[in-house]
Amino acid sequence: MSFLELSDVAKNYGPVTALAGVDLRVESGSRTAIVGPSGCGKTTLLRLIAGFEAPDRGRIALDGKVLANGGAAVPAHRRGIGVVAQDGALFPHLSIADNIGFGIARNADKRADHIVELAYIVGLDKAVLKRRPHELSGGQQQRVALARAMAMKPRLMLLDEPFSALDTGLRASMRKAVAELLEEAGITTILVTHDQAEALSFANQVAVMRDGLFSQVGTPRELYFQPRDRMVAEFLGDAIIVPARIADGFAVSRLGRIAVDTKERRDVARIMLRPEQILLKRTSREGMSGTPDMLFGEVTDCEFAGAVCTVAVRLLNSPDPPDAAAIGNTPLTLRRTGMDAPEVGEIVRLTVTGKAHVFA
């Protein structure tokens, strides 16, 4: 039995189906990220787990105890679940100390010391404790919200896009700090996010949601390299998807002959590679002669963005793919370090590393 178990959980708002019968297992002490396009049901799922609303159908159990079974539900304040919302949702009229200590009884032993300790754990300076929320930066407010949620000693922490208001640098460091903090405290966590890199780096389990259902649930590596379909593949990063003829552990496509991640398949299917699996090496038209097994292309566009540049490459000597007429010769979108950005018109040699994934 898993720590948190959701079975066939469904929720409608009038004619809108927010959740269509979701199953999910979360292990004790783990971190799960839920990603998916806007409106797919992520926040609704968190609200049902937290107990802010009851499901129309289905069962939610935490640590062996049923929290909701259809409409019958344990109230939110008895679930032992911490929630950190996108905007922090601090009490504006209370000091930071009182925000953090909101869930600690007024007469609790060493209450003030406990608040200082919580502030320290989330990386807040003691000096801010007397201030009000509006006197803090967005990042500091998020830390207060986290400290307040941790003060309740939750068994499960729900984070609803808690880093989205922060700028890129702070966002990454805050994410890492929060992940470490929760891990040390042994708190099982579910994070809702729009950001694929955030989901892949934060979680041990990632669940991709679409139209109120999970499309795929697995480890970050499984979902990134072995996505179930095009939607999951493209939601988690850029993907090169081409038709291929599969046999004996290899695929023959417009990218040449590439090893694939299955030995059993023998058919025509779509294969997927991540752009970073295709390496580019500068050469010239003369360098192409006498090397029929190698793959060459011409750079048709190069977008410089600092560390990385995005390079469009039109293949020059591609073998015929299964449906060549249908796909034409659309340029491939690849990546290269910004330091080594090629010029438009340059000839490059393409080498595939690793295996391609075959879609079902």
Q: Which residues bind ligand ATP (CB under 6 A)?
A: 13, 16, 18, 36, 38-44, 194
Token pair for 219:
């480890």
Residues 6+ apart with CB under 8 A from 99: 90, 91, 133, 144, 148
Nearer to ligand ATP, 38 or 289 (CB): 38
C-beta separation of 328 from 255 below 8 A? no
Report the C-alpha gap between 201 and 11 in whole angstroms: 29
- Three-state DSSP at 264 gives coil
- Cβ burial, residue 266 (10 Å; 0-12/13-18/19+): exposed
Closer to ligand ATP at the Cβ: 150 or 191? 191
Residue placing its CB nearer to ligand ATP in the complex, 212 or 220:
212
Give CA–CA dist 292/299, Å, rounded.
Answer: 20
Q: Strand ranges (DSSP E) for 292-358?
A: 295-305, 308-315, 332-337, 347-352, 357-358
For residues 41 and 101, which CB has a smaller minimum distance to ligand ATP in the complex? 41
Tell me which residue has tokens 């107990």. 51
Instruction: Tell me the closest approach of the beta carbon of residue 191 to ligand ATP, in angstroms.
Output: 12
The nearer residue to ligand ATP, 13 or 120, going by C-beta atoms, is: 13
The nearer residue to ligand ATP, 207 or 334, going by C-beta atoms, is 207
CB of 196 to ligand ATP, least distance (A): 13
Q: How far is Cα of residue 232 from the mean position of the Cα atoms in its chain?
A: 11
- Nearer to ligand ATP among residue 44 and residue 140 (C-beta): 44
Nearer to ligand ATP (CB atom), residue 85 or residue 268? 85
10 Å CB burial of residue 357 (0-12, 13-18, 19+) is buried
**Phi and psi dihedrals of 224, rounded to 5?**
-75, -45
Torsion of CA 69, 188, 231, 12, to 10 degrees: 20
Cβ-based burial of 69 (10 A; exposed 0-12, middle 13-18, buried ≥19): middle
